[in-house]
Amino acid sequence: MAKLLIIGKMPPPVGGVSMHVQRLTRRMRQMDLDFDFCDYGKVSILKILFKIATHNTIHIHFSNPVAQVVTAVLCRLTGKRLIITYHGCWGRYRSPGNRAVALSARLAHVPIVQERTSLLQALRCNPRACQISTYITDPEILPLPAPLQAFIMCRRKHYRATFCTNAWNLTFDKNGREIYGISEMVNRFADYPAYQLLISDPSSNYQSYIQQHATHIPGNIFFINYLHDFKSILLLSDAFIRNTTTDGISLSIHEARELGIPVLASAAVQRPPFCSVFQDFSKTDLTAKLEEARRLIAVPYEMPDVVARLVELYREIERKQP
């Protein structure tokens, strides 16, 4: 019987979870580690069940609380060691979803969370809970199409500063608010005509939504509504904005830091010390926050080797298996 099975989804669509799964499995293959991967978006339920039945340790990467509970129950019944990575902060769902998250953590062998507040809650459900970041560095940067690169470079000449943000899709939180806060940002940038905002919108759903609901889209707003490497957009920007109502570790925040791009981030969760944090973007002074972010990006900050920590966890579980 094989030992480790990782279940997740590969991009596209491009999102924090799928990028984590892609980078994790790629690094593990480069390290010549023995594991199996199952893309739940490309195989049947029966195939997934067969994979689970023929492996000892299962590591899942999906955010649906019901699917997490079902997998946890199945693994308990069949004697499998289940690792669940919770990619978002705890408490982001309505009451039934939050209860499901707590139950799956209780049934799992090891629940993995992203930040301190979630860890304190997870430890009440399972003493083996741990905090391991989902950010895995990737030095590869794919170039933008030449016409897009030239167009953005030309636009930059007309503005004092270029900001960027991203949203893998149009999504809403438990209170009905846009998770990525793009509408709020479009409205705020109307008050700052000297600054432009580049919006990475690979699904193109956000641009359609804004066009339907906004009375006016300022000329300093530019949507990029097809697949592209967001790191290439960061390199053309003076700052990155993360205006979310809930969050996990945020891959984009750490990519910006690695590239030396200042970061403005909402106070939805505890942010790294190199971020300029705001409470309400609609009232944020962009000029002051940009200057603060430029100072903070120089703050020394060391990220742990996430893959090494996960491999250590896998090996520890393997050693304890009968």
What does the pLDDT look like over 142-176, one tens digit per residue? 999 999 999 999 999 999 999 999 999 999 999 99
pLDDT at site 303: 87
- Where the chain has pLDDT below 70, the residues are 1, 322
d(CA 217, CA 214): 7
What's the order of all strands across the beta sheet hosting 110-113?
Answer: 36-39, 2-8, 55-60, 81-85, 110-113, 130-131
pLDDT at site 90: 94
Stated as kind and residue range, the H or E segment containing 123 is helix 116-125
Angle at Cα 253 formed by Cα 135 and Cα 226, nearest 5°? 95
Q: What pTM, to 2 d.p., does this model score?
A: 0.92
pLDDT at site 1: 56
The contacts of residue 305 (CB under 8 Å, 6+ apart) are none
Residue 196 near residue 218 (C-beta atoms within 8 A): no
d(CA 254, CA 276): 13
pLDDT tens digits for range 263-284: 999 999 999 999 999 999 999 9
pLDDT at site 12: 84
d(CA 11, CA 32): 22
d(CA 160, CA 144): 23
pLDDT at site 2: 75
